[in-house]
């Protein structure tokens, strides 16, 4: 029984270490790779930029500050769970 208990304890320890590694190195995938061309829609009430790409609205952190008319082409990028719009 001691060998079985040691193996179970080792297995549990390895599992915990793997979960900690995954938690620290989590990469959140976006809907696309790299940067794409989207179309500016508006700023929402919270100040997030709304950009349309492939008929889907993305809530972005705008890079830069300027007034844009709806429909203006913008660069839409993704980095670890956050979308950015740049014009």
Q: What pLDDT digit, counting tens, does each position of 42-76 carry?
A: 999 988 999 999 999 999 999 987 788 999 999 99
d(CA 78, CA 43): 18
**Against a cut of 0.85, is the pTM above it?**
no
How crowded is the C-beta side of 36, counted as CA atoms within 13 Å? 16
| Torsion angle (degrees, nearest 10) of CA 36, 42, 48, 53 | -20
Task: Show the domains of the chain with their CATH numbers.
Answer: 35-86 (2.40.50)
| Mean pLDDT value across the chain | 87
What is the sign, positive or negative, of the torsion defined by CA atoms of 83, 40, 68, 48?
A: negative
């Amino acid at each position: 029984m001691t060998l079985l208990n040691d193996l179970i304890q080792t297995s549990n320890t390895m599992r915990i270490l793997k979960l900690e590694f995954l938690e620290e190195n989590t990469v959140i995938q976006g809907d696309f790779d790299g940067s794409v061309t989207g179309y500016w829609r508006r700023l929402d009430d919270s100040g997030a930029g709304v950009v349309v790409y492939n008929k889907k609205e993305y809530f972005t952190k705008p890079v830069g500050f300027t007034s844009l008319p709806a429909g203006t082409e913008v660069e839409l990028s993704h980095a670890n769970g956050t979308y950015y719009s740049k014009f």
